Chain A
Amino acid sequence: MDKSRASVALSEETRALLSRTPAVIEPGHTFESVTETIGHVVLSKRTPIGWFLGFFVAFILLMVLNVTIGNLLMKGIGIWGNNVPVGWAFDIINFVWWIGIGHAGTLISAILLLFRQQWRTSINRFAEAMTLFAVACAAMFPLLHTGRPWLAIYWLFPYPSSMGLWPQFRSPLIWDVFAVSTYGTVSALFWFTGLVPDMATLRDRAKSRFAQRFYGMLALGWRGSAKHWQRYETAYLLLAGISTPLVLSVHSVVSFDFAVSVLPGWHATIFPPYFVAGAIYSGFAMVMTLAIPLRKFYHLEDFITMRHIHNMTKVMLVTGMIVAYGYANEAFFAWYSSNPYEQYMMYNRMTGPYAVFYWSLIAINAVMIQLFWFRSVRDNIPLLFILSLLVNVGMWLERFIIIVTSLHRDFLPSSWDMYAPTGWDFSMFAGTIGLFLALFFLFIRFLPAIAIFEMRTIVPEAKLKAEHHG
C-alpha cells in the first residue's frame, strides 16, 4: 500500500514538472499519426498557395543572382565596391556569414545526438538541409571573387595542371578550401543517410506512380531489416562523431584566414572559439527564423513544440554571451597590448566612420540578447521571430566591422581609404538569400522536413514493454 502511494506521489510530482517543461512531442501520437502528419506535407497533391507565393519571391531573388553572376563573369569583379586597401569586402563577409549559419545544423544533428538530447529529433532534418544550402551559398562567394573561377582551380585544388603548379599548403586560404569542401561533403552524406529510411516510408505510402518511383529510387531498396538497422545506427553514430570535431574545425579554419595575418584587429588568439560561438549563435537564429513559420503554416506545433523554441533561445543566449565576451576581450587586449596600432584599431571601430555599425552590433549581440533571460520573451513567438532576424543582422554587422574597419585604416595613414559597397554587392547578397530560400522551399515540398523514423522512436509505442527488460 505504502509503496503504491509513494509511486503515485512521485508521478504527480513528475507530472507537475512536466507541465512546466513542455514536451518534445505532444501526447497522443502514434507511429501512424507521426508518419501521416509529416508525410502528408510531401505526398499531398495540393500545394498550398502560400508555398507558391514564397517560392515566387525566392525565385525572383534567384534570378537576381543569375543576372549578377552573368554581369560579374562578363565584366569582372570591378563591378563590386572592393578597392585598395579594402580588397576583401562583401564577398568574404557574406561567405563567413553563410558558413556560420550552417554550423547550427551540424551542431543539432551531430553534437546533440552524441549528448543524447532528444529534442534535436524534430529539428535536425531541416536544420541539416539549412546547413547544406547555406554552405552552397557560402561557396559562391570565394569561387566568384576569383572573377574567372574556371581559371582559379589550380591554386584551389591539388591536381596535376599543365603548368606544373601546386597549391600552397602553408596558406590558411587553402586550409579553408579543404575545410569547406570536406564540410559540404560530409554534411551531404550525413543528410542523405538520415533520409533513406524516410524515403522508404514515402515509397510505401505514395499513391502516384511517379512518387513511388522517385522515392523508391532514393530509398535504395531500404526494407528495415534488423541487420541493416544495426549497421545503419553504427554508421550514423560514427558520422555524428566524425562531424563533431569537423564542425568545430570549419569555423576555426575560417577564423585562421584572419588570425594568421598580422593586421590589427585580426591577429588575435581569441578568434577560433569566438568565431565558432558566433557561428552557432547565428545558425540557431536562422533555425528559429525557419522553424517558426514552418511549424505555423504546416501545423507542426505538435512536433516542434515550445520546448524546442525555449531550448534554441537558451543556446542563442549562451553562445551570444560568448560572442559578447569576445568583443570585450578584443577591446581589453587592444588597450592592454600597449600597441598603438591595436589601440587605434579599437578607437577607430568605436568612434571612426563605421562606428554606427559597431554600436549596432553591440546593441544586438551584447545588449538585446539579454532579453532571452526572460521566460515571457521565450514564450512570445512573434517577438522571437523578430529577434532572430535581428541576430542575423547583428552577426552580419560583426563580420562587416571585423573585415572593413581593420582593412580601411591599417599601419600607413597614407594608404587609408573608405569602402562602400555597390548595387552589385547587394544584388549578389540578396541573390544568395534567394537561392537559399528557393532550395528550402523545394526541400519542404519534396522531402520530409522532419525525420519521420526518428520521430517514431520518441513516441511511447517505441518503448518495449517492461517484462522484456528483466
Chain B
Amino acid sequence: MAEFDNATALVDAATKARLAGYRKMDAYSPIPIEELNEALDLRRTRLPLLVLLGGIFGGLGGFGLEYWVSVMAYPMNIGDRPLNSWPQFIPVMFETTVLGAALTAFVGMWALNKLPQPYHPVFNVDAFARASTDRFFLVIETTDPRFERHATWKFLEGLHPVGVSEVAP
C-alpha cells in the first residue's frame, strides 16, 4: 500500500501501476476522482440498468395492484366510470415507479459495493485513518499475478509516495 498526499499523484501512480502490468489493485480517496476510473480501468457499473428494471417493476406492480383492487377484488361503480379507469391510476403508478427505482438504486449500490462490511484489511494500517480526510492510497493485492513482495515494494517506492506499508490480512 502506498500513501500519497494529493489526488494527482494517486492518479499518476495508478496509471503507472496499470502500465506495469498490475491488475488486482484498488485506490482509496477522500473524494470521488473520476480520472481513477480510467486509470484503474474500471468497468462501468450495471447499476443504471438495475434501476431501470426496478422502476419498470414498480410501475407495473403499482398498476397491477390498482387494477386488481379496483376491477377484481373490490369493484365499485363511481359515477358510472369504467372499473379500469386507468387515467386516475396514473398518479399512484408514477409514485410506485419512483419508489421501485429509488429502492433499487439504494439497495443495489450498497449490495454491489458489498457494504456494509465492518472489517477490511486496509483498516489495519494506521495511516489509513487519514484516507477519509486528506490522504490518497494505492493498494496492490497479493493475489495479483505480477505481485512479488520485494519487486512490488520497490515499484511502489518508485512512485514517490509519502510512505509505503504492508497490509496485514
Contact = CB atoms under 8 A, between A and B. Distances in A.
Contacts of A235: 47, 105-106, 108-109
Contacts of B37: 226, 230
A231 B40 CA distance: 14
B31 A231 contact: no
B45 to A, nearest CB: 5
B102 to A, nearest CB: 4
Contacts of B65: 158
B132 A178 contact: no
Interface stretch (B73-81, B146-154, B155-163): B73-81
A197 interface: yes
A178 B95 contact: yes
A166 B35 contact: no
Interface in A451-470: 453, 456-457, 461-462, 464-465, 468
Interface string B131-157: 111100000000000000000000000
Nearest to A31: B134
Which has the most chain A C-beta neighbours within 10 Å: B7, B85, B98, B117? B98
Contacts of B166: none
A453 B30 contact: yes
Nearest to B137: A224
Contacts of B66: 169
Chain B interface bracket (under 10, 10 to 19, 20 to 34, 35 or more): 35 or more
Nearest to B74: A166
Given A204-B129, A227-B113, A253-B91, A189 B106 contact: yes
A170 B88 CA distance: 5
Contacts of B30: 31, 201, 224, 453, 456
Interface string A22-55: 0000000011100100000000000000000000
A327 B149 CA distance: 75
26 contacts: A31-B134, A35-B133, A165-B74, A166-B69, A168-B78, A170-B81, A172-B91, A182-B99, A193-B109, A200-B132, A205-B133, A220-B115, A222-B132, A223-B131, A224-B28, A225-B27, A226-B14, A226-B28, A226-B33, A227-B113, A231-B47, A235-B105, A235-B106, A235-B108, A239-B102, A239-B105
